[in-house]
Chain A
Amino acid sequence: MNLLSQIGILELSYVVASVTFILGLKMLSNPKTARKGNLIAAFGMGLAILTTILFHRDPDTGEHIKNIGWIIGALLIGTVGGAWVSRIVKMTAMPQMVSFFNGMGGATAALIGMIEFNKLALHGVEGSLLNGHVLVMVLGVFIGSVSFAGSMIAYGKLEGKIKDKALPFQHTINLIMLVVILGLGAFIMLQDAPDMNLFFVLMGLSLVYGVFFVLPIGGADMPVVISLLNSFTGLAAAMGGFLYNNMAMLTGGILVGSAGTILTILMCKAMNRSLLNVVIGSFGGSAKGGSGTSSESGGTYRETNPSDTAIMCAYANQVMIVPGYGLAVAQAQHTCHEFEKMLSNRGVNVIYGIHPVAGRMPGHMNVLLAEADVPYDKLIEADDANPMLANTDVVLVIGANDVVNPAAKDDPSSPIFGMPIIDAEKAKQVIVFKRSMRPGYAGIENRLFFNSNTGMLFGDAKDSLEKLISELKNM
């Protein structure tokens, strides 16, 4: 094959890849086409990787891709490892998995910048370093490192291995660091010759900045942070696109950068918060104050038992199940579906009230319940579920807490004030499945638990549901 047709195929494959990325994202925003969209994008990616290995030539020397053995080796290890890890990971651990892979992408982008700058340092440059080429290396290393370090911290937080921590004046420190990093970037570009040591310092500072950026943000906000870091990695990938004049990297990177930013904002909107509010992390800070005051005014709660609950549900007309992270942790989705089917068979209308941010990620509950074959039309989104509550006899709150906390409506001092909730207290009876009276993830006391029409059913969500099922069978 001649040179022209090789370059032609390569560039054409990048066009195809770019189109599959756009189509893929578009199809991913519709439940009917989402899975196909993902496969289409994956196909485009595979194609671009293959043609790059086969046909890419160094623009200066015209050499083909070398070190093929090493490349294929790394591709193989990465494919087997990546596929294996993502197959065995539990559904509840999906959010941190996404964060982990995002960090890998960030690290890749940073390493690319690193190696390219190293090349410059070895071969020397003519003229000034103040050009677009060096700029994208500096930005690639900066953004990629922040994304990598931040994603790893987010991963650790969701795994429960890293606690929320903040240095005194953390935000001031972060701001100063950001200025220092950008200044250092400019300083590197103003040198007469490329200085690799300065570049290592740049990378180190960016890594520390990534850690500081995520560390003070509350664990409950991690989904938003991951989405934001996701768009950062997109930008870092786009920097690589500029570096190599590579259209697939450029369009893919910018697309993810902008779509990721919008998605982040949409997620914030679902929680009725602003992005700035999340990043500055007022959530974690004021939550401590909030729980301190309200726990004193706790009052008394009423404990109920499986047998009463089962009877109550069996003779109800309409039951609404509000699932939360507790359901996910207990892996109770199948048991929950079984219970729901038994009730339906007795003529009870059972629906699920799904809060958009229930669980650890938006859409977490939908994925989980879908896994248990719960029919799609039984999942009612919060906005539609709330008007139905007045006609609901029993609400079963299974392992959810903050998303049913009335403080979001009427307590301006509460850190979750303003967040839309599922208004469980409007129903005739509320049963809360919970392991203990401990406050939920945001660390806020929940007034709902002390209402006169609320009964607490303590225990693991799965055990409790199993007890309910056996009670129903004996009825």
Chain B
Amino acid sequence: MDNFFQFFIDNRDFIYLIILSIFLGIEVISNVPAILHTPLMSGANAIHGVVIIGAIIVMGHADSNNTLAMILGFIAVLLGTLNVVGGFVVTDRMLEMFKKKDKK
């Protein structure tokens, strides 16, 4: 039990952050109309591409003699970039359609 309390006390700020972020995520999109479900999903898809930062960190501190880490790190940065760039571009292309009609 003490371990648990120690863990809780050590990570209190994180726990608050997580709880508040969860509620924020729910709140932020709760009024979305059905027509925007697909673009919103695509946009959220691009945002979790933030995992790219982890890939850069892991690659940036990899020992260049460690071939496995170098190869996996390179792939991680590459795939993460695909997620970010592809995600945002696809979302933009979908939303481009909406914008055209706003002008008219």
Contacts and interface: CB of A to CB of B under 8 A. Distances in A.
Contacts of A366: 35, 98
B36 A31 contact: yes
Nearest to A151: B45
Max count, chain A CB within 10 A of own CB: residue among B41, B74, B93, B102 = B41
Interface stretch (A372-380, A392-400, A449-457): A372-380
A64 to B, nearest CB: 8
B100 A373 contact: yes
A68 B64 CA distance: 11
Interface range, B side: 35 or more
A22 to B, nearest CB: 6
A28 B40 contact: yes
Interface string A354-371: 101000011110111011
A81 B83 CA distance: 11
Given A28-B40, A45-B84, A85-B86, A251 B17 contact: yes
A39 B92 CA distance: 8
Contacts of A379: 35
Given A109-B51, A253-B51, A367-B97, A78 B78 contact: yes
A249 interface: yes
Majority SS at the chain A contact face: helix
B79 A363 contact: no
Contact of A25 (B44, B62, B84): B44
Contacts of A67: 59-60, 62, 64, 70, 73
Interface string B67-104: 01110111111111111111111111111111111101
Interface in B26-79: 26, 28-62, 64, 66, 68-70, 72-79
Interface of B: 7, 11, 14, 17-18, 21-26, 28-62, 64, 66, 68-70, 72-102, 104
Given A34-B95, A258-B26, 11 more contacts: A25-B44, A31-B36, A31-B98, A42-B46, A45-B52, A94-B42, A111-B73, A115-B73, A259-B25, A262-B25, A262-B29
